């Protein structure tokens, strides 16, 4: 009899849980449009996007989040991302409003199930799976989201997920025949994660929270780029980095966006190939801009490799540098990335040179991380400094076993630089203010 009672209780609990997830949430979307910082002009925003993914912050604003019972109207710092795809807006709308077909569109998404629908509102359950060579890092989660579609947007509120309190909005704007601007504006409360693995990782690497907004936008729009976009690849010369084609007025606008919000602006550049001794290697560079009140002279210490240990004290265990010569400086890094459930140790070497007092260039030249290149520039402004960080990083198939697990992640050649740049610039900004 007790067994029957327990079984009935279990079934009732499961049924109640399933019923609550199936119920639609009453929610009024008040997510700001991605066009808001650009005078509500799709053409103006498109002039910044060009062939890249453009990611930028919005001003802090109150938003509606009924799932967060303790604070249903929190102050949110939304992040927007934009891309131009070479298809009509009708094709974009058809693709994005077919939620079951998100499987195949977004990597790691294995199943999509409709739980409830009423009019233009649908509640979906998605299964996300990221297998890795390290079983303890395998990610398998069911995520429940509620979507509501309008003529040119889909607004979404998260119902259940490792980050359970989040909202977002996809928008699309026609730019003419077979050319559409697609944007994602989203925010989530990263201080209240759920799920053992996600909690462990964010507790072990709290600074990772700084890279989640930028990484989320890059992930979603890179998926659209790969579905709709061209396959163009830029061949760079030795020592060359991609150069965003922005006017002085556009750079001033980016500087103002960063200054007013305190957040970085990033450009995920088109795929490139870079010459190495063994041939050309595909690398994906991200260029990130951050405004500072300090002068370039006050920030020059952050160009020195020895300063990076104070930026990432949990991860960088030791830095050893050679004597500085006219050719530059070699630096050895001993790193251990603790993920809460496992630590990933690796060593690598980098060469730095300093062509100007306000600039460094760097590249990996040995050790476990073979593909890492970039540059940091400190550009003087009337009100301080406009920092530009350009980076590409990729873990190759010959990396040590634990480090090679990073290759299991989607877009592993792009997302580390996207998130890393955002974390790097914001941590420097925080330390410069202190």
Please write the tens of the pLDDT for every residue from 348-374.
Answer: 999 999 999 999 999 999 999 999 999
Tell me phi and psi for residue 174, to 5 degrees. Answer: -70, 135
Q: How confident is the model at residue 402 (pLDDT cuts 50, 70, 90)?
A: confident
- Give a yes or no: residue 193 inside a domain: yes
DSSP-based three-state secondary structure for 183:
strand
- 258 and 331, same domain (yes or no): yes
Spatial CA neighbour of 172 closest among 156, 183, 161, 163: 183
Q: How far apart are CA 217 and CA 54, in angstroms?
A: 9
Q: Which two tokens stand for residue 334?
A: 């001993």
Spatial CA neighbour of 364 closest among 378, 351, 379: 351
> Buried b vs exposed e over 371-397: b needs ≥16 C-beta within 10 Å?
bbbbbbbbeebeebbbbbbbbbbbbee
Please write the tens of the pLDDT for every residue from 229-252.
Answer: 878 899 999 999 999 999 999 999
Q: How confident is the model at residue 2 (pLDDT cuts 50, 70, 90)?
A: very low
Residue 13 has pLDDT above 50, yes or no: no
Q: Which two tokens stand for residue 351?
A: 């060469």
- Give a yes or no: residue 128 inside a domain: yes
Radius of gyration of the chain (CA): 23
Among the candidates 228, 261, 293, a domain finishes at 228
CA distances in angstroms from 418 to 46, 169, 348, listed in the order given: 20, 21, 20
- Give a yes or no: residue 17 inside a domain: no
Please write the tens of the pLDDT for every residue from 141-184.
Answer: 999 999 999 999 999 999 999 999 999 999 999 999 899 999 99
- 310 and 173, same domain (yes or no): no
- 64 and 131, same domain (yes or no): yes
Number of domains composing the chain: 2
pLDDT at 339: 86
Structural domain that includes position 381: 234-433
- Give a yes or no: residue 387 inside a domain: yes
CA distances in angstroms from 123 to 32, 42, 114, 168, 169, listed in the order given: 22, 29, 6, 14, 15
Q: How far apart are CA 173 and CA 171, in angstroms?
A: 7
Q: How far apart are CA 85 and CA 182, in angstroms?
A: 7
Of 433 and 288, the one with more pLDDT: 288
Mean pLDDT of 421-433: 95
- 199 and 260, same domain (yes or no): no
pLDDT at 285: 99
- Give a yes or no: residue 95 inside a domain: yes
Among the candidates 228, 256, 278, a domain finishes at 228
- 207 and 328, same domain (yes or no): no
- 295 and 317, same domain (yes or no): yes
pLDDT at 197: 86
- 198 and 297, same domain (yes or no): no
- Give a yes or no: residue 251 inside a domain: yes
Q: How confident is the model at residue 21 (pLDDT cuts 50, 70, 90)?
A: low
The whole-chain average pLDDT of the chain stands at 93
pTM: 0.94
- 276 and 408, same domain (yes or no): yes
pLDDT at 357: 96
Among the candidates 228, 259, 287, a domain finishes at 228
Please write the tens of the pLDDT for every residue from 64-85.
Answer: 999 999 999 999 999 999 999 9
- Give a yes or no: residue 10 inside a domain: no
Q: How confident is the model at residue 22 (pLDDT cuts 50, 70, 90)?
A: low
Mean pLDDT of 281-301: 98
pLDDT at 434: 60
Q: How far apart are CA 142 and CA 140, in angstroms?
A: 7
- 116 and 164, same domain (yes or no): yes
CATH for 48: 3.30.530.20
DSSP-based three-state secondary structure for 56:
strand
- 282 and 399, same domain (yes or no): yes
Q: How far apart are CA 201 and CA 212, in angstroms?
A: 12
Contact 211, 419 (CB under 8 A): yes
- 272 and 176, same domain (yes or no): no
> Buried b vs exposed e over 110-146: b needs ≥16 C-beta within 10 Å?
eebeebeeeeebbbbbbebebeeebeebebebebbbb
- Give a yes or no: residue 37 inside a domain: no
- 113 and 204, same domain (yes or no): yes
């Amino acid at each position: 009899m007790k067994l029957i009672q327990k079984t009935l209780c279990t079934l009732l609990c499961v049924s109640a849980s399933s019923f609550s997830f199936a119920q639609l949430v009453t929610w009024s979307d008040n997510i700001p449009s991605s066009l808001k910082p650009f005078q509500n002009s799709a053409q103006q925003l498109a002039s910044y996007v060009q062939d890249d993914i453009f990611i930028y912050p919005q001003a802090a604003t109150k938003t509606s989040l009924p799932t967060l019972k303790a604070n249903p109207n929190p102050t949110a710092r939304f992040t927007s991302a934009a891309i131009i795809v070479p298809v009509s807006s009708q094709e974009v709308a058809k693709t994005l409003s077919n939620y079951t077909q998100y499987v195949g569109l977004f990597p790691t998404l294995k199943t999509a199930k409709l739980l409830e629908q009423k009019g233009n509102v649908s509640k979906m359950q998605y299964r996300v799976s990221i297998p890795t060579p390290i079983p303890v890092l395998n990610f398998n989660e069911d995520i429940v989201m509620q979507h509501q579609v309008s003529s040119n947007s889909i607004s979404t509120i998260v119902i259940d997920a490792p980050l359970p309190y989040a909202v977002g909005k996809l928008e699309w704007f026609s730019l003419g025949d077979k050319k559409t601007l697609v944007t994602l504006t989203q925010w989530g409360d990263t201080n209240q994660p759920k799920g053992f693995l996600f909690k462990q990782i964010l507790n072990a690497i709290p600074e990772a929270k700084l890279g989640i907004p930028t990484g989320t936008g890059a992930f979603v729009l890179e998926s659209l780029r790969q579905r709709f976009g061209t396959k163009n690849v830029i061949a760079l010369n030795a020592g060359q980095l991609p150069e965003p084609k922005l006017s002085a007025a556009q750079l001033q606008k980016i500087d103002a966006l960063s200054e007013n919000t305190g957040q970085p602006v990033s450009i995920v550049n088109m795929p490139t190939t870079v010459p190495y001794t063994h041939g050309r290697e595909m690398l994906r560079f991200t260029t990130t801009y951050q405004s500072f009140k300090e002068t370039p002279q006050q920030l020059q210490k952050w160009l020195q490799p020895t300063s990076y240990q104070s930026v990432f004290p949990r991860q960088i265990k030791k830095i050893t540098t050679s004597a500085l010569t006219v050719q530059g400086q070699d630096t050895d890094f001993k790193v251990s990335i603790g993920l809460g459930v496992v630590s990933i140790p690796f060593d690598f070497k980098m060469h730095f040179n300093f062509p100007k007092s306000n600039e460094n260039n760097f590249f990996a030249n040995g050790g476990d991380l073979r593909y890492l290149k970039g540059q940091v520039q400190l550009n003087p402004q009337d009100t301080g400094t406009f920092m530009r960080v350009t980076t590409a990083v990729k873990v190759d198939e010959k990396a040590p076993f634990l480090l090679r697990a990073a290759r299991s992640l989607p877009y592993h050649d792009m997302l580390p630089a996207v998130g890393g740049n955002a974390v790097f610039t914001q941590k420097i900004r925080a330390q410069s203010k202190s």
